[in-house]
Amino acid sequence: MKRIVDYAQLFMKEYLKDGDTAVDFTMGNGYDTLFLAKHTPHGKVYAFDVLEQALKNTKAKLSWEGIENVELILDGHEHAERYISRFKVGVFNFGYLPGNNKEETTLLKTSQEAVEKALKRLERKGVLILVLYPGHEQGALESHYFSSYIQSLDTYYYECFTFKMENKTDCPYIIGIEKKREK
């Protein structure tokens, strides 16, 4: 099997067309930011993180590839509405920066707030991808919450799916939320 983050990118690619706006709500080391930027070279990508180290690592990756259609934002994704309006594809890859302090992880309260706000800004026929890690404490809270949250979303407005390996406990998995109609 591919890694879960590779599957997440396959889903993003399915929805993203050149010229679209995309948002990486958890920039980290910039792999998803770079992926999104390459798939919408005439569009724009916004990327958020609370750690300067994440911006530094991502900036280096983008400049190495000569990519300029990205705005890196040092702020929490729960404040994303201050910087973005509408977007077609968004990704939350929850957790902590690999190789960094595991305590500096995404937290349920701000993750909840950020996803709810992001859904309001999501374009029709766009998708929000959540990559969840139930194998650590905060990740377990997030996955428990979002797995039931998607069941509460009205099917008139949203279609939700889960992509998960079923014969392994606590492995990372993907939730996708596609917007069918504006409220």
Ligand X SMILES: C[S@@+](CC[C@H](N)C(=O)[O-])C[C@H]1O[C@@H](n2cnc3c(N)ncnc32)[C@H](O)[C@@H]1O
User: Which residues of this protein are in contact with ligand X, per CB under 6 A?
Assistant: 26, 28-32, 48-51, 54, 76-78, 93, 95-97, 104, 106, 110
Torsion on CA atoms 82, 84, 86, 89, rounded to nearest 10: -130
Decide whether 114 or 150 has the Cβ nearer to ligand X. Answer: 114
Decide whether 49 or 178 has the Cβ nearer to ligand X. Answer: 49
Minimum Å gap between C-beta 50 and ligand X is 5
Separation of alpha carbons 109 and 172, rounded Å: 20
Minimum Å gap between C-beta 126 and ligand X is 18
CA 6 remoteness from chain centre: 13
Decide whether 32 or 142 has the Cβ nearer to ligand X. Answer: 32
Decide whether 129 or 177 has the Cβ nearer to ligand X. Answer: 129
Minimum Å gap between C-beta 111 and ligand X is 7
What is the DSSP code string of 6-64? HHHHHHHHHH--TT-EEEESS-TTSHHHHHHHHH-TTSEEEEEES-HHHHHHHHHHHHH
Distant-in-sequence, close-in-space partners of 66: CB < 8 Å, separation ≥ 6: none
Minimum Å gap between C-beta 51 and ligand X is 4
